[in-house]
Amino acid sequence: MRETLAALADLTRAHFFFVWPLLFCSGLALAFETYGGFSWVLVGRAALIGLFGFTAGLVLNDYIDREYDRRDVDGSLTRYWRPFGERPIPAGKLSPRAALAVFLVLAGLAAALAVTLPSPHNLYVLGIMGYSYLVEYFYQTKKRNQTIPLAQMVGRTDFALFPVAGYLVYGNPDATALLFFLFFYPWTLAHLGANDIADIANDRARGMATIPVLYGMKGATTWVLGFSAVHAAMAVVFGLALGPVTLAGFAAGLVLLGAANYIAHRGKSPEAAMRALPLMHATVIVYAMAIIAGAAL
Q: Express each pLDDT in 104-150 by its tens digit.
A: 999 999 999 999 999 999 999 999 999 999 999 999 999 999 999 99
The arithmetic mean of pLDDT across residues 234-262, rounded, is 98
Cβ-count burial 232-266 (b if 16+ within 10 Å, e if not): bebbeebbeebeebbbebbeebbebbebbbebbbe
Cα separation values, 215 from 72, 189, 225, 230, Å: 21, 15, 14, 19
pLDDT tens digits, one per residue of 251-295 = 999 999 999 999 999 999 999 999 999 999 999 999 999 999 999
pLDDT tens digits, one per residue of 58-100 = 999 999 999 999 999 999 999 999 999 999 999 999 999 999 9
pLDDT value of position 231? 98
Q: CA angle 271-21-129, nearest 5°?
A: 95
The arithmetic mean of pLDDT across residues 172-192, rounded, is 98
pLDDT tens digits, one per residue of 91-115 = 999 999 999 999 999 999 999 999 9
pLDDT of 1 > 90? The answer is no
- The C-alpha atoms of residue 124 and residue 208 are separated, in whole angstroms, by 33
- The C-alpha atoms of residue 116 and residue 39 are separated, in whole angstroms, by 15
- The C-alpha atoms of residue 108 and residue 175 are separated, in whole angstroms, by 30
The arithmetic mean of pLDDT across residues 149-171, rounded, is 98
> Over the chain, what is the mean pLDDT?
97
pLDDT value of position 195? 97
